[in-house]
A = this chain, B = another copy of it.
Amino acid sequence: MIVAGATGFAGALSAHLLWRHPGFRLVAVTGRSEVGRRLDELYPRYRVPLTIEELDLDGLDRVDAAVVAYPHAAAAPTVAGLCERGARVVDLSADFRLSSLETYEQWYGQHPRPELLSKAVYGLTELHREAISGAAIVANPGCYPTASVLGLAPLARAGLIADVVIDAKQGISGAGRTFDDTTHLSMAGENILPYNVARHRHTPEIEEQLAELDPALSGLAVQFQAHLVPLDQGELASCYVTPTRTVAAAELAELYAEAYANEPFVEVAEEPPGTREVRDTNFCRVFAAADGHTGKLVVLAAIDNLWKGTSSQAIQNLNVMFGLPEAMGLA
């Protein structure tokens, strides 16, 4: 097992989780910067005593699996190279998340390796477990789609969504290890900052997943808005659903209880969930309520953007891919 791109937040946490994972052996961490430094120097709290190497695909010893934590467009060629050498890959970028090439190019520009799209499975474990178990490439979901789709899936599957507005909030780690005005504590602190207004790239990912759950939603344009709030790890998707028909509180409760009864990492909450409740875990906490005043449904889904939203979900997917207990290394 290797982690390519271990110097960013997502790669580093993936390395940390894999280093202590009883079912995998992390043999190398690579980076496009910081080569030669030890990962535990860069991230002391993760205590991974490996030295960051340059990724040399040709010189690579055989690896069974890899987590690739590169930015979109940069990821695809590396994923391709690893696949060609026999590794099964969980890719944290957006490169393989959308099944439609057209949609990808509309939001991200030209795709570097479109021929691989058909080999990739969307890695929202709870929805695609079986396909993930046999996949060569697992496209780990974006953090916002993870929370949003887990929150909305029971409604979509039941054909109850007519329209939806998603207002998502996330801690500063969501901006990654980038250094600018949005991450500097003296500017990010005491701030609530909306960003990417009316054009967030996680939108089509959510739309594709909802349409897969309910084909009637294939034309739905989701209103999605993201905000940075001054904490480190945590994400809440607040979803406001115009239902296709009146939904009573009891029906709603039953719908969610059934949908997630057997899911080890989705908790249906009895109170509106705060993100602290899932910090440093792979859990998603979901709460749904029918608003008698407006007739709309309010769904709240809380995750840790770095864990279930990124790195621990990658581990969950690796567990599924390699036939290990799904919660191994995550409890």
Chain A residues at the B interface, C-beta cutoff of 8 Å: 9, 20, 44-45, 165, 167, 169, 171-173, 177, 179-180, 183-195, 197-199, 203, 221-223, 225, 227, 229-236, 238, 240, 272-281, 287, 289-296, 298, 300, 302, 331
Verify B185–A45 contact, CB threshold 8 A. no
CA gap between A183 and B172 in the complex, in Å: 12
Chain B hits for A195, CB < 8 A: 272
Query: A190 is contacted by which of B20, B191, B198, B276 (Cβ under 8 Å)?
Result: B276
Q: Flag if A276 contacts B187 (CB, 8 Å).
A: yes
Taking a contact as CB atoms under 8 Å apart, the answer to whether B184 and A234 are in contact is no
List, in ascending order, chain B residues with CB within 8 A of A235's CB.
192
Q: Considering only CB atoms, which chain B residue lies closest to A306 in the complex?
A: B186
- CB-CB under 8 A from A290, the residues of chain B are 198
Cβ 8 A contact of A198, one of B173, B189, B289? B289
Q: How far is the CA of A290 from the CA of B240 in the complex (A)?
A: 19
What 8 A-B pairs are tightest by C-beta distance, nearest first?
A179-B179, A167-B167, A198-B291, A44-B277, A193-B274, A191-B276, A172-B185, A229-B229
With A193-B274, A274-B191, A300-B194 known as contacts, the answer to whether A185 contacts B232 (CB < 8 A) is yes
Inter-chain contact B289/A197, CB cutoff 8 Å = yes
Contacting residues, chain B, for A278 (C-beta < 8 A): 45
Q: Give the Cβ gap from A170 to chain B, nearest Cβ, in Å.
A: 8
- Complex Cα distance, B295 from A236, in Å, reads 24
26 A-B pairs within 8 Å (CB atoms) are namely: A9-B186, A20-B331, A44-B277, A45-B277, A45-B281, A169-B227, A169-B229, A171-B186, A171-B192, A172-B186, A173-B186, A183-B185, A185-B232, A189-B232, A190-B233, A190-B234, A194-B236, A194-B238, A194-B274, A194-B287, A194-B300, A198-B298, A223-B298, A229-B231, A230-B231, A280-B280
| A198 and B280 contact, Cβ closer than 8 Å, known pairs A230-B230, A233-B190 | no
Question: In the complex, A45→B279 CA distance in Å?
Answer: 7
Return chain B residues, CB-CB under 8 Å to A229: 169, 192, 229-231
Q: Which residues of B contact A331 (CB under 8 A)?
A: 20
A293 → B minimal CB distance (Å): 5
A252 to chain B, nearest CB (A): 11
